Amino acid sequence: MTLPPSDNQSTLRSSSVMAVGTITSRVTGLLKNTALIAAVGSGVFADTYSIANTLPTVVYVLLVGGAINAVFIPQLVRHMKADSDEGLAYAQRLFSAVVFALAVITVVAVIAAPWLMQLYSTGWNRNDIEVATAFARLLLPQIFFYGVFALVSQILNTRGRFGPPMFAPVLNNIVIISSTLAFLAVAGTGTSTKTVTNGEVLLLGIGTTVGAAVQAVVLWPWLGRCGVRLRLRTDLRGQGLGVAWALARWAILLVLVNQIGTLVVLRLATGINATSNANAGAAVYQMAFTIFMLPQSVITVSLVTALLPNLAHQASSGNFDVVRERVGWTLRTSGSLIVPASVAFIVLGVPISVLLFNYGSMTLESARLLGLTLSAFAIGLPAFSAYYVLMRAFYAIEDTRTPTYNAMILNGANILLAVAAVRWVPADLTIPSLGLAYAVSYWIGLATLAQRLRHRLDRLDGYLVVRTYVRVALASLLAAVGMVAAALLAEAAVGLATDLTSSLVIVASGLAMGGVGYLLGVRIFRITEISDILRLVARRH
């Protein structure tokens, strides 16, 4: 296989810029998560903050975010091509409509905070609900700032500015780290819903929301640099927004289906923590999911974010052969990095979690459970990544209906498996089993979605994709052997992962030998996608 076409090389270059920004934001995000877990622990108090901090994302994605991600980039690209002002007025009207909607949604959500917290939890007592509601009222205003950040990011992306949206979360993380450290200094470790004070809730809640606000505001100067001056407008009717909202209805329904799955799983997870001695609930589940998402955020999201505007352009021009080639190339390129990352999480999930989270209020036992949950999630990482790519292909061809139907299959499988896990798996392993249920459901969803996209595009480059994934799997098997051998040798030298030193030695040894094994596999099995990436990196340096 030769190097990708020039457009694909351009996507790689843009993706590498975004990957640097994403890596920086994720490193600071890891520090933020370590600080948060040290501050809130893994018990019911941790769940109250975790669920309250999840609600802004849930509400935002459900009512606005799904439309922004699924619909508005293709529409922005279309108007950039067709309008005499390169889509500026359309962007202003779209921004105005989203801001007005966000303001109303935020106010309603804050008022509804007590009911939302009861909806997303089970087994909590009255005191737990009160603390969770207090957190929710402080954290729900993030809905507005998330929406502004997402829309401004998409406008920048359509104009070739991919870097700033990837670096902006760094400031968010720094603000939250600062507020969390302040909380630890005031409250100490071991805080519970019975001991936390109003002032401590204010400190952690306001600090988290200020971080989201800073993340949105910092992008504003970059709009001016690419010639976009956003302002609020009231002339919204009859200006083409109806097409976007018509498509958005299906995107919102898709998100609703996804959130029903999330709702069921979070209720199950909070119930486990509240009614057993597992000391692992929604906070542990969500933190494991956050770590599971790291390779996806750095690799697949960077590739797809750079690819999507061009993909939408090719689709709108009827160049479906090009769309098919770009989708296949993205699947192969992302998979060549995602699969070994998945193997690393499966093999080293426990020592990674001990290394990152065994501090402050987080016990060793809970950190190990978090690691098992991470390993369970990781079984589905290749499917999760590929599913994301195929979804964006549907968005590029302006089909939001098919992904919605497919989400019903995926979430139905997740709910059934999750309920079965809670009923039949011992309490101390239930949270990891919820992660496994999520992983299996994505393999089911990927199989059905790929079949649907094959029909829409007449065919997919299935042979090339499968051939690459088989080679990557074989190379990853060599990596796994190296990781296991290195981890066992490290454990023989320093013992099991129980503290910073032992977990660091095990993780570093495993990753080093795993990396050597994978690069050997790349050479043996001629995985040219990795060679392309390495050549691009070499040219940039």
SS3 467: helix
Range name among 18-27, 137-146, 198-207, 323-332 with the lowest pLDDT average: 18-27
pLDDT band, residue 168 (cuts 50/70/90) = confident
Cβ partners under 8 Å of residue 109, min gap 6: 55, 56, 59, 116, 140, 143
pLDDT at 300: 75
Range name among 23-27, 436-440, 533-537 with the lowest pLDDT average: 533-537
Q: How far apart are the first and last CA of the chain?
A: 24
Range name among 107-116, 195-204, 461-470, 504-513 with the lowest pLDDT average: 461-470
Q: How does pLDDT run across 381-390, given as a tens digit for each residue?
A: 999 999 998 9
Query: Do the Cβ atoms of 275 and 125 come closer than 8 Å?
Result: no
Range name among 28-42, 430-444, 519-533 with the lowest pLDDT average: 519-533
User: In the structure encoding, which two tokens stand for residue 155, read together?
Assistant: 């406008």
Q: How does pLDDT run across 448-472, given as a tens digit for each residue?
A: 999 988 887 777 777 888 999 999 9
Query: Position of tokens 């996806």?
Result: 296
Query: Position of tokens 């209906």?
Result: 401
pLDDT at 273: 84
**Residue 470 one-letter amino acid:** V
Q: Which residues of 464-476 are buried (b: 16+ CB within 10 A; e: fewer)?
A: ebeebbebbbebb
Is the pLDDT at 16 greater than 60? The verdict is no
Q: Which residues of 121-143 are buried (b: 16+ CB within 10 A; e: fewer)?
A: bbbbeeebbbbbbbbbbbbbbbb
pLDDT at 540: 46
CA dist 97 and 104 (Å) reads 11
**Residue 278 one-letter amino acid:** A
Which residue has better confidence, 207 or 325? 207
pLDDT band, residue 208 (cuts 50/70/90) = very high
Q: Which residues of 348-361 are buried (b: 16+ CB within 10 A; e: fewer)?
A: bbbbbbbbbbbbbb
pLDDT band, residue 265 (cuts 50/70/90) = very high
Q: How does pLDDT run across 300-351, given as a tens digit for each residue?
A: 776 666 665 666 666 666 677 777 888 888 889 889 999 999 999 999 999 9
SS3 197: coil
Q: How many CB atoms lie within 10 A of CB 187?
A: 20
SS3 274: helix
pLDDT at 474: 97
- Cα distances (Å, whole numbers) of residue 485 to 208, 230, 482: 41, 56, 5
Taking the mean position of all CA atoms in its chain, how far away is CA 365?
A: 26
Q: Which residues of 390-409 are buried (b: 16+ CB within 10 A; e: fewer)?
A: bbbbbbbbbbbebbbebbbb
CA dist 343 and 483 (Å) reads 9
Burial of residue 417 (number of CB atoms within 10 Å: 0-12, 13-18, 19+):
buried
CA dist 17 and 8 (Å) reads 14
Is the pLDDT at 241 greater than 70? The verdict is no
pLDDT at 2: 40
Taking the mean position of all CA atoms in its chain, how far away is CA 487?
A: 28
Range name among 134-148, 201-215, 244-258, 430-444 with the lowest pLDDT average: 244-258
**Residue 370 one-letter amino acid:** L
CA dist 342 and 476 (Å) reads 9
Q: How does pLDDT run across 37-89, given as a tens digit for each residue?
A: 999 998 899 999 999 999 888 877 766 655 555 555 566 666 666 666 666 77
Q: How does pLDDT run across 89-115, given as a tens digit for each residue?
A: 777 777 787 788 889 989 999 999 999
Which residue has better confidence, 369 or 10? 369
Taking the mean position of all CA atoms in its chain, how far away is CA 104?
A: 26
Is the pLDDT at 4 greater than 60? The verdict is no
